[in-house]
Amino acid sequence: MLKGLSVISMLMLLSACASFYEGTYEYNRQFEQGNLEQALKSLRSSSLYNRKHAQFLAHVNNGLLLSVMGRYEESNAYFEKAYIFGEDYRINYAREAASYLTNPTVTIYKGEDHEHLMLLYYKALNFVKMERYEDALVECRRLNIRLMQLSDRYNSPERYRRDAFIHNLMGIIYQANKDWNNAFIAYRNALEIYEEDYMRMFGVYPPDQLKSDLLTAAWNTGFKEEYSFYKDKFGWDDFTVSKSSADLIFFWHNGLGPVKDEWSINFMIRRSGDAFVFFNEHLGLSYTFPVANDDDRKALSSLEIVRVAFPRYVERPPLYSSAVIFKDDAVFPLELTEDINRIAFKSLQERMWLEFSKALIRVALKKAAAHSARKEDEGFGALIGMVNAITEKADTRNWQTLPHSILYTRVPLEEGTNTTRFTMRLPNGSEEDHSFTYRAKAGQTLFHTFTSLETRVRGR
Protein backbone atom coordinates (compact mmCIF):
# COMPACT_ATOMS: atom_id res chain seq x y z
CA MET A 1 0.00 0.00 0.00
CA LEU A 2 2.77 2.40 0.96
CA LYS A 3 4.57 1.61 -2.26
CA GLY A 4 1.42 2.34 -4.25
CA LEU A 5 0.93 5.67 -2.55
CA SER A 6 4.57 6.57 -3.16
CA VAL A 7 4.24 5.85 -6.87
CA ILE A 8 1.00 7.84 -7.13
CA SER A 9 2.63 10.79 -5.34
CA MET A 10 5.59 10.66 -7.68
CA LEU A 11 3.34 10.58 -10.73
CA MET A 12 1.37 13.57 -9.42
CA LEU A 13 4.64 15.47 -9.05
CA LEU A 14 5.61 14.52 -12.58
CA SER A 15 2.33 15.89 -13.87
CA ALA A 16 2.79 19.14 -11.96
CA CYS A 17 6.33 19.59 -13.21
CA ALA A 18 5.31 19.00 -16.79
CA SER A 19 2.29 21.30 -16.76
CA PHE A 20 3.44 24.44 -14.89
CA TYR A 21 4.64 26.42 -17.90
CA GLU A 22 2.05 24.85 -20.14
CA GLY A 23 -0.56 26.21 -17.76
CA THR A 24 0.93 29.72 -17.75
CA TYR A 25 1.62 29.88 -21.49
CA GLU A 26 -1.75 31.47 -22.31
CA TYR A 27 -1.15 34.36 -19.89
CA ASN A 28 2.33 35.04 -21.26
CA ARG A 29 1.08 34.85 -24.85
CA GLN A 30 -1.74 37.33 -24.23
CA PHE A 31 0.62 39.69 -22.39
CA GLU A 32 3.28 39.60 -25.11
CA GLN A 33 0.63 40.35 -27.73
CA GLY A 34 -0.60 43.34 -25.74
CA ASN A 35 -4.02 41.84 -24.95
CA LEU A 36 -3.91 43.14 -21.40
CA GLU A 37 -7.51 42.54 -20.30
CA GLN A 38 -7.39 38.99 -21.62
CA ALA A 39 -3.99 38.48 -20.00
CA LEU A 40 -5.44 39.55 -16.65
CA LYS A 41 -8.29 37.06 -17.03
CA SER A 42 -5.86 34.29 -17.96
CA LEU A 43 -3.64 35.10 -15.00
CA ARG A 44 -6.45 35.09 -12.47
CA SER A 45 -8.09 31.96 -13.84
CA SER A 46 -4.83 29.97 -13.85
CA SER A 47 -5.02 27.21 -11.28
CA LEU A 48 -1.22 27.09 -11.21
CA TYR A 49 -0.78 30.76 -10.30
CA ASN A 50 -3.42 30.32 -7.60
CA ARG A 51 -1.40 27.62 -5.88
CA LYS A 52 0.53 28.52 -2.76
CA HIS A 53 3.90 27.58 -4.26
CA ALA A 54 3.45 30.27 -6.96
CA GLN A 55 2.01 32.99 -4.72
CA PHE A 56 4.90 35.42 -5.22
CA LEU A 57 4.67 35.11 -9.02
CA ALA A 58 0.91 35.67 -8.91
CA HIS A 59 1.36 38.88 -6.91
CA VAL A 60 4.10 40.40 -9.08
CA ASN A 61 2.44 39.46 -12.36
CA ASN A 62 -0.82 41.04 -11.21
CA GLY A 63 1.12 44.11 -10.09
CA LEU A 64 3.05 44.58 -13.32
CA LEU A 65 0.03 43.98 -15.55
CA LEU A 66 -2.14 46.44 -13.63
CA SER A 67 0.68 49.01 -13.73
CA VAL A 68 0.89 48.79 -17.53
CA MET A 69 -2.91 49.18 -17.61
CA GLY A 70 -2.68 52.38 -15.56
CA ARG A 71 -4.44 50.93 -12.51
CA TYR A 72 -1.73 52.12 -10.14
CA GLU A 73 -3.47 51.76 -6.76
CA GLU A 74 -4.49 48.16 -7.50
CA SER A 75 -1.02 47.46 -8.84
CA ASN A 76 0.67 48.69 -5.69
CA ALA A 77 -1.63 46.59 -3.52
CA TYR A 78 -0.34 43.46 -5.25
CA PHE A 79 3.28 44.61 -5.15
CA GLU A 80 2.95 45.28 -1.43
CA LYS A 81 1.68 41.72 -0.96
CA ALA A 82 4.74 40.46 -2.83
CA TYR A 83 7.03 42.65 -0.70
CA ILE A 84 5.49 41.35 2.54
CA PHE A 85 5.80 37.80 1.20
CA GLY A 86 9.53 38.36 0.77
CA GLU A 87 9.88 39.87 4.25
CA ASP A 88 7.89 37.09 5.94
CA TYR A 89 9.16 34.16 3.88
CA ARG A 90 10.05 31.16 6.00
CA ILE A 91 11.35 27.85 4.74
CA ASN A 92 8.75 25.08 4.77
CA TYR A 93 10.97 22.22 5.87
CA ALA A 94 8.52 19.54 4.76
CA ARG A 95 8.48 20.93 1.21
CA GLU A 96 12.24 21.45 1.35
CA ALA A 97 12.76 17.81 2.32
CA ALA A 98 10.42 16.70 -0.46
CA SER A 99 12.45 18.73 -2.96
CA TYR A 100 15.53 16.62 -2.18
CA LEU A 101 13.61 13.48 -3.11
CA THR A 102 11.93 14.97 -6.21
CA ASN A 103 12.96 18.42 -7.47
CA PRO A 104 12.83 22.09 -6.34
CA THR A 105 9.51 22.83 -8.08
CA VAL A 106 7.61 21.36 -5.10
CA THR A 107 8.88 24.19 -2.87
CA ILE A 108 7.25 27.59 -2.50
CA TYR A 109 8.91 29.93 -4.98
CA LYS A 110 10.54 32.69 -2.94
CA GLY A 111 11.62 34.91 -5.85
CA GLU A 112 15.03 35.86 -7.20
CA ASP A 113 16.89 38.73 -5.55
CA HIS A 114 16.42 41.15 -8.45
CA GLU A 115 12.70 40.31 -8.62
CA HIS A 116 12.24 41.53 -5.04
CA LEU A 117 13.97 44.77 -6.04
CA MET A 118 12.04 45.31 -9.27
CA LEU A 119 8.67 45.10 -7.54
CA LEU A 120 9.74 48.08 -5.40
CA TYR A 121 10.81 49.98 -8.53
CA TYR A 122 7.34 49.45 -9.97
CA LYS A 123 5.76 50.61 -6.71
CA ALA A 124 7.85 53.78 -6.83
CA LEU A 125 6.98 54.32 -10.49
CA ASN A 126 3.27 53.91 -9.76
CA PHE A 127 3.47 56.52 -6.99
CA VAL A 128 5.33 58.89 -9.32
CA LYS A 129 2.54 58.53 -11.89
CA MET A 130 0.07 59.53 -9.15
CA GLU A 131 2.36 62.48 -8.21
CA ARG A 132 2.86 61.01 -4.74
CA TYR A 133 6.57 61.76 -4.68
CA GLU A 134 7.20 61.17 -0.98
CA ASP A 135 5.63 57.73 -1.19
CA ALA A 136 7.78 56.99 -4.25
CA LEU A 137 10.92 57.96 -2.33
CA VAL A 138 9.92 55.61 0.50
CA GLU A 139 9.86 52.73 -2.00
CA CYS A 140 13.29 53.73 -3.32
CA ARG A 141 14.69 53.66 0.20
CA ARG A 142 13.06 50.29 0.83
CA LEU A 143 14.74 49.01 -2.32
CA ASN A 144 18.17 50.14 -1.13
CA ILE A 145 17.64 48.50 2.27
CA ARG A 146 16.36 45.28 0.67
CA LEU A 147 19.36 45.15 -1.66
CA MET A 148 21.77 45.50 1.27
CA GLN A 149 19.97 42.68 3.11
CA LEU A 150 20.12 40.40 0.08
CA SER A 151 23.74 41.16 -0.85
CA ASP A 152 24.95 40.54 2.71
CA ARG A 153 24.31 36.82 2.14
CA TYR A 154 27.19 36.64 -0.34
CA ASN A 155 30.91 37.10 0.28
CA SER A 156 32.08 37.97 -3.22
CA PRO A 157 33.54 41.48 -3.64
CA GLU A 158 31.91 41.43 -7.09
CA ARG A 159 28.41 41.04 -5.68
CA TYR A 160 25.52 43.26 -6.76
CA ARG A 161 25.13 45.45 -3.68
CA ARG A 162 24.20 48.94 -4.92
CA ASP A 163 21.66 49.99 -7.54
CA ALA A 164 22.64 53.02 -9.61
CA PHE A 165 19.30 53.38 -11.34
CA ILE A 166 17.29 53.68 -8.15
CA HIS A 167 19.56 56.52 -6.94
CA ASN A 168 19.12 58.16 -10.33
CA LEU A 169 15.34 57.80 -9.96
CA MET A 170 15.50 59.34 -6.49
CA GLY A 171 17.36 62.30 -7.95
CA ILE A 172 14.72 62.70 -10.65
CA ILE A 173 11.95 62.64 -8.03
CA TYR A 174 13.74 65.14 -5.78
CA GLN A 175 14.28 67.42 -8.79
CA ALA A 176 10.58 67.19 -9.67
CA ASN A 177 9.93 68.40 -6.11
CA LYS A 178 12.53 71.18 -6.54
CA ASP A 179 14.56 69.67 -3.68
CA TRP A 180 17.87 70.47 -5.35
CA ASN A 181 20.16 69.54 -2.47
CA ASN A 182 18.84 65.99 -2.14
CA ALA A 183 18.67 65.70 -5.93
CA PHE A 184 22.38 66.51 -6.12
CA ILE A 185 23.24 63.90 -3.48
CA ALA A 186 21.17 61.21 -5.22
CA TYR A 187 22.64 61.99 -8.65
CA ARG A 188 26.17 61.98 -7.22
CA ASN A 189 25.54 58.58 -5.60
CA ALA A 190 24.17 57.24 -8.87
CA LEU A 191 27.22 58.46 -10.80
CA GLU A 192 29.56 56.81 -8.30
CA ILE A 193 27.76 53.45 -8.55
CA TYR A 194 27.70 53.54 -12.35
CA GLU A 195 31.44 54.26 -12.41
CA GLU A 196 32.50 51.85 -9.65
CA ASP A 197 30.04 48.96 -10.09
CA TYR A 198 27.86 49.09 -13.19
CA MET A 199 30.59 49.71 -15.75
CA ARG A 200 32.56 46.71 -14.50
CA MET A 201 29.75 44.27 -13.71
CA PHE A 202 27.09 45.10 -16.30
CA GLY A 203 28.82 47.18 -18.97
CA VAL A 204 26.43 50.08 -18.25
CA TYR A 205 27.98 53.56 -18.34
CA PRO A 206 26.69 56.73 -16.65
CA PRO A 207 24.02 58.24 -18.92
CA ASP A 208 24.76 61.71 -20.26
CA GLN A 209 21.32 62.72 -18.97
CA LEU A 210 22.45 61.85 -15.44
CA LYS A 211 25.56 63.99 -15.89
CA SER A 212 23.44 66.89 -17.12
CA ASP A 213 21.00 66.53 -14.22
CA LEU A 214 23.88 66.36 -11.72
CA LEU A 215 25.32 69.63 -13.03
CA THR A 216 21.88 71.25 -13.01
CA ALA A 217 21.31 70.18 -9.40
CA ALA A 218 24.77 71.44 -8.34
CA TRP A 219 24.12 74.81 -9.99
CA ASN A 220 20.67 75.25 -8.44
CA THR A 221 21.98 74.24 -5.02
CA GLY A 222 24.74 76.83 -5.26
CA PHE A 223 27.53 74.24 -5.23
CA LYS A 224 29.79 76.19 -7.57
CA GLU A 225 32.95 74.18 -6.78
CA GLU A 226 31.17 70.88 -7.41
CA TYR A 227 29.65 72.33 -10.57
CA SER A 228 33.10 73.26 -11.91
CA PHE A 229 34.59 69.94 -10.77
CA TYR A 230 32.06 67.83 -12.64
CA LYS A 231 32.19 70.03 -15.74
CA ASP A 232 35.94 69.37 -15.88
CA LYS A 233 35.47 65.68 -15.07
CA PHE A 234 32.98 65.22 -17.92
CA GLY A 235 34.93 67.43 -20.33
CA TRP A 236 31.82 69.56 -20.85
CA ASP A 237 33.43 72.99 -21.01
CA ASP A 238 30.54 74.46 -23.02
CA PHE A 239 27.77 73.16 -20.74
CA THR A 240 25.31 75.71 -19.38
CA VAL A 241 22.24 75.09 -17.24
CA SER A 242 19.10 75.54 -19.33
CA LYS A 243 15.73 76.37 -17.86
CA SER A 244 12.41 75.05 -19.11
CA SER A 245 8.82 75.74 -18.16
CA ALA A 246 8.22 72.03 -17.51
CA ASP A 247 9.87 68.65 -18.04
CA LEU A 248 8.97 65.23 -19.40
CA ILE A 249 10.73 62.16 -17.97
CA PHE A 250 10.25 59.39 -20.51
CA PHE A 251 10.99 55.80 -19.44
CA TRP A 252 11.21 53.08 -22.08
CA HIS A 253 10.76 49.50 -20.85
CA ASN A 254 12.35 47.70 -23.78
CA GLY A 255 11.71 44.02 -24.52
CA LEU A 256 11.31 41.18 -22.06
CA GLY A 257 13.71 39.87 -19.44
CA PRO A 258 15.33 36.44 -19.57
CA VAL A 259 13.53 33.16 -18.99
CA LYS A 260 14.89 30.33 -16.92
CA ASP A 261 15.83 27.14 -18.67
CA GLU A 262 17.41 23.90 -17.56
CA TRP A 263 20.88 22.57 -18.22
CA SER A 264 22.50 19.47 -16.84
CA ILE A 265 26.00 18.26 -16.03
CA ASN A 266 27.30 14.71 -15.74
CA PHE A 267 29.37 14.12 -12.61
CA MET A 268 31.69 11.21 -11.92
CA ILE A 269 31.63 9.90 -8.33
CA ARG A 270 34.71 8.82 -6.38
CA ARG A 271 34.78 7.61 -2.77
CA SER A 272 37.27 9.15 -0.37
CA GLY A 273 36.96 7.51 3.05
CA ASP A 274 33.52 8.31 4.44
CA ALA A 275 33.07 11.10 1.90
CA PHE A 276 32.20 11.11 -1.78
CA VAL A 277 33.62 13.42 -4.41
CA PHE A 278 31.43 14.55 -7.32
CA PHE A 279 33.67 15.84 -10.09
CA ASN A 280 33.59 16.94 -13.71
CA GLU A 281 37.12 17.24 -15.07
CA HIS A 282 36.04 19.02 -18.26
CA LEU A 283 34.47 21.91 -16.32
CA GLY A 284 36.95 21.79 -13.45
CA LEU A 285 34.21 21.18 -10.87
CA SER A 286 34.70 19.15 -7.71
CA TYR A 287 32.49 18.83 -4.61
CA THR A 288 33.05 16.65 -1.54
CA PHE A 289 30.20 15.46 0.68
CA PRO A 290 30.58 13.43 3.90
CA VAL A 291 28.15 10.48 4.09
CA ALA A 292 27.58 9.11 7.60
CA ASN A 293 25.05 6.36 6.89
CA ASP A 294 26.58 3.03 5.87
CA ASP A 295 23.68 2.12 3.56
CA ASP A 296 23.97 5.48 1.82
CA ARG A 297 27.71 4.92 1.37
CA LYS A 298 27.04 1.53 -0.19
CA ALA A 299 24.41 3.01 -2.48
CA LEU A 300 26.72 5.75 -3.71
CA SER A 301 29.63 3.34 -4.05
CA SER A 302 27.72 1.49 -6.76
CA LEU A 303 27.43 4.65 -8.86
CA GLU A 304 29.92 5.90 -11.40
CA ILE A 305 28.14 8.81 -13.05
CA VAL A 306 25.05 10.94 -12.32
CA ARG A 307 23.20 13.67 -14.21
CA VAL A 308 22.38 16.81 -12.24
CA ALA A 309 19.99 19.53 -13.45
CA PHE A 310 20.56 23.24 -12.79
CA PRO A 311 18.68 26.43 -13.70
CA ARG A 312 20.10 28.96 -16.13
CA TYR A 313 18.83 32.13 -17.75
CA VAL A 314 18.27 32.49 -21.49
CA GLU A 315 18.29 36.03 -22.83
CA ARG A 316 15.45 37.30 -25.01
CA PRO A 317 17.12 40.07 -27.06
CA PRO A 318 14.73 43.00 -27.62
CA LEU A 319 13.56 43.72 -31.15
CA TYR A 320 14.41 47.42 -30.93
CA SER A 321 18.02 48.50 -30.47
CA SER A 322 17.62 52.24 -29.79
CA ALA A 323 15.11 55.07 -29.65
CA VAL A 324 14.92 58.86 -29.79
CA ILE A 325 12.31 61.53 -29.07
CA PHE A 326 11.82 64.43 -31.47
CA LYS A 327 10.36 67.71 -30.22
CA ASP A 328 10.35 70.70 -32.54
CA ASP A 329 13.89 70.76 -33.95
CA ALA A 330 15.52 68.97 -31.01
CA VAL A 331 16.44 65.28 -30.72
CA PHE A 332 16.63 63.47 -27.37
CA PRO A 333 18.21 59.98 -27.43
CA LEU A 334 17.05 57.48 -24.83
CA GLU A 335 19.93 56.08 -22.77
CA LEU A 336 20.34 52.81 -20.92
CA THR A 337 19.94 53.29 -17.18
CA GLU A 338 19.20 49.72 -15.98
CA ASP A 339 20.02 46.40 -17.67
CA ILE A 340 17.61 44.02 -15.94
CA ASN A 341 18.74 41.15 -18.16
CA ARG A 342 22.34 41.34 -16.94
CA ILE A 343 21.29 41.90 -13.34
CA ALA A 344 19.18 38.72 -13.53
CA PHE A 345 22.17 36.73 -14.77
CA LYS A 346 24.30 38.25 -12.00
CA SER A 347 21.74 37.41 -9.30
CA LEU A 348 21.61 33.76 -10.33
CA GLN A 349 25.40 33.57 -10.65
CA GLU A 350 25.84 34.82 -7.07
CA ARG A 351 23.96 31.86 -5.62
CA MET A 352 25.08 29.26 -8.17
CA TRP A 353 27.41 27.46 -5.75
CA LEU A 354 24.43 26.90 -3.45
CA GLU A 355 22.46 25.57 -6.42
CA PHE A 356 25.27 23.15 -7.24
CA SER A 357 25.44 21.86 -3.67
CA LYS A 358 21.68 21.40 -3.28
CA ALA A 359 21.37 19.67 -6.65
CA LEU A 360 24.18 17.22 -5.88
CA ILE A 361 22.71 16.38 -2.48
CA ARG A 362 19.33 15.90 -4.14
CA VAL A 363 20.70 13.40 -6.66
CA ALA A 364 22.69 11.55 -3.99
CA LEU A 365 19.63 11.13 -1.74
CA LYS A 366 17.46 9.99 -4.63
CA LYS A 367 20.03 7.38 -5.63
CA ALA A 368 20.35 6.18 -2.05
CA ALA A 369 16.54 5.89 -1.76
CA ALA A 370 16.39 3.83 -4.94
CA HIS A 371 19.17 1.56 -3.65
CA SER A 372 17.33 0.97 -0.35
CA ALA A 373 14.07 0.23 -2.18
CA ARG A 374 15.82 -2.19 -4.52
CA LYS A 375 17.12 -4.19 -1.52
CA GLU A 376 13.52 -4.83 -0.43
CA ASP A 377 11.90 -5.19 -3.85
CA GLU A 378 13.88 -5.20 -7.08
CA GLY A 379 10.91 -4.12 -9.21
CA PHE A 380 9.88 -1.29 -6.90
CA GLY A 381 13.47 -0.13 -6.63
CA ALA A 382 13.76 -0.03 -10.40
CA LEU A 383 10.53 1.99 -10.60
CA ILE A 384 11.82 4.45 -8.01
CA GLY A 385 15.04 4.77 -10.01
CA MET A 386 13.08 5.51 -13.17
CA VAL A 387 10.92 8.11 -11.43
CA ASN A 388 14.04 9.69 -9.92
CA ALA A 389 15.60 10.07 -13.34
CA ILE A 390 12.46 11.65 -14.78
CA THR A 391 11.92 14.01 -11.84
CA GLU A 392 15.50 15.31 -11.89
CA LYS A 393 14.59 18.84 -12.96
CA ALA A 394 15.83 22.32 -12.18
CA ASP A 395 13.56 25.05 -10.84
CA THR A 396 12.81 27.15 -13.93
CA ARG A 397 10.19 29.41 -12.35
CA ASN A 398 10.76 33.16 -12.72
CA TRP A 399 9.03 36.50 -13.26
CA GLN A 400 8.84 36.41 -17.04
CA THR A 401 7.10 39.74 -17.73
CA LEU A 402 9.89 42.02 -16.50
CA PRO A 403 11.47 44.23 -19.18
CA HIS A 404 14.85 43.43 -20.67
CA SER A 405 16.18 46.92 -19.96
CA ILE A 406 15.10 50.43 -18.96
CA LEU A 407 16.13 53.50 -20.98
CA TYR A 408 15.17 57.12 -20.36
CA THR A 409 15.57 60.76 -21.26
CA ARG A 410 14.44 64.21 -20.10
CA VAL A 411 12.58 66.44 -22.57
CA PRO A 412 11.98 70.16 -21.82
CA LEU A 413 8.36 71.22 -22.32
CA GLU A 414 6.55 74.51 -22.69
CA GLU A 415 3.55 75.44 -20.60
CA GLY A 416 0.49 74.23 -22.47
CA THR A 417 0.34 71.68 -25.29
CA ASN A 418 3.47 69.86 -26.48
CA THR A 419 3.71 67.39 -29.37
CA THR A 420 6.51 64.81 -29.56
CA ARG A 421 7.46 61.85 -31.74
CA PHE A 422 8.94 58.71 -30.20
CA THR A 423 10.95 56.68 -32.73
CA MET A 424 12.20 53.15 -32.07
CA ARG A 425 14.89 51.72 -34.32
CA LEU A 426 15.61 48.13 -35.32
CA PRO A 427 19.13 46.79 -35.95
CA ASN A 428 18.43 46.78 -39.72
CA GLY A 429 17.76 50.53 -39.66
CA SER A 430 13.97 50.45 -40.01
CA GLU A 431 11.93 52.60 -37.62
CA GLU A 432 8.60 52.66 -35.83
CA ASP A 433 7.03 55.97 -34.79
CA HIS A 434 4.57 56.91 -32.05
CA SER A 435 3.25 60.43 -31.50
CA PHE A 436 2.39 61.75 -28.04
CA THR A 437 0.84 65.01 -26.91
CA TYR A 438 1.40 66.36 -23.40
CA ARG A 439 -0.30 69.22 -21.61
CA ALA A 440 2.02 70.70 -19.00
CA LYS A 441 1.66 73.28 -16.25
CA ALA A 442 4.45 75.68 -15.37
CA GLY A 443 7.04 73.96 -13.17
CA GLN A 444 5.49 70.52 -13.65
CA THR A 445 7.39 67.29 -14.30
CA LEU A 446 5.42 64.74 -16.30
CA PHE A 447 6.30 61.04 -16.27
CA HIS A 448 5.57 58.71 -19.17
CA THR A 449 6.39 55.00 -19.47
CA PHE A 450 6.37 53.26 -22.83
CA THR A 451 6.51 49.45 -22.87
CA SER A 452 7.59 47.50 -25.96
CA LEU A 453 7.33 43.74 -25.55
CA GLU A 454 8.74 42.55 -28.85
CA THR A 455 11.78 40.27 -28.84
CA ARG A 456 14.07 39.09 -31.63
CA VAL A 457 14.05 35.52 -30.35
CA ARG A 458 10.74 34.13 -29.20
CA GLY A 459 10.98 33.02 -25.57
CA ARG A 460 9.15 30.17 -23.98
- pTM for the whole structure: 0.85
Q: State the average pLDDT over residues 182-189.
A: 98
Q: State the average pLDDT over residues 142-155.
A: 90
First vs last C-alpha separation in the chain: 40
Most confident of the following: 18-22, 296-300, 329-333: 329-333
Sheet containing strand 431-440, edge to edge, reads 330-333, 322-327, 416-425, 431-440
Question: What type of residue sits at position 119?
Answer: L
Q: What was the pLDDT predicted at 391?
A: 56
Q: Does residue 368 register a pLDDT over 70?
A: no
Q: Which segments of 125-255 are extended strands (E)?
A: 246-254
Sheet containing strand 275-280, edge to edge, reads 285-290, 275-280, 259-272, 305-314
Yes or no: say if 381 and 374 are a contact pair by the CB < 8 Å rule.
yes
Q: Does residue 387 register a pLDDT over 80?
A: no
Q: State the average pLDDT over residues 103-122.
A: 88
pLDDT confidence bin for 98, thresholds 50/70/90: very low
Q: Does residue 394 register a pLDDT over 60?
A: yes
Q: What was the pLDDT predicted at 292?
A: 66
* Per-residue pLDDT tens digits for 6-49: 444 444 444 444 435 566 888 989 999 999 999 999 999 988 88
Q: What was the pLDDT predicted at 14?
A: 46
User: CA 118, CA 127: separation in Å to the nearest integer?
Assistant: 14
The beta-carbon contacts of 79-87 under 8 Å, at least 24 apart in sequence, are 79/119, 79/120, 79/122, 79/123, 79/126, 80/123, 82/56, 82/111, 82/116, 82/119, 83/116, 83/119, 83/120, 83/123, 83/142, 85/55, 85/56, 85/59, 85/111, 86/56, 86/110, 86/111, 86/116, 86/146
User: CA 26, CA 39: separation in Å to the nearest integer?
Assistant: 8
User: CA 399, CA 114: separation in Å to the nearest integer?
Assistant: 10
Q: Does residue 106 register a pLDDT over 60?
A: yes
β-strand partners of 336: 407
Q: What does the buried/exposed string (b/e) look like for 352-364 if buried means 16 or more CB atoms within 10 Å of the residue's CB?
A: eeebbebbbebbb
Rg (CA), the chain: 26
Q: Does residue 111 register a pLDDT over 60?
A: yes
Tell me the pLDDT of the chain averaged across its residues.
85
pLDDT confidence bin for 5, thresholds 50/70/90: very low
Give the lowest-confidence range in 99-108, 140-149, 182-191, 443-452: 99-108
Q: What was the pLDDT predicted at 396?
A: 85
* Per-residue pLDDT tens digits for 267-295: 787 777 777 777 888 778 777 777 666 76
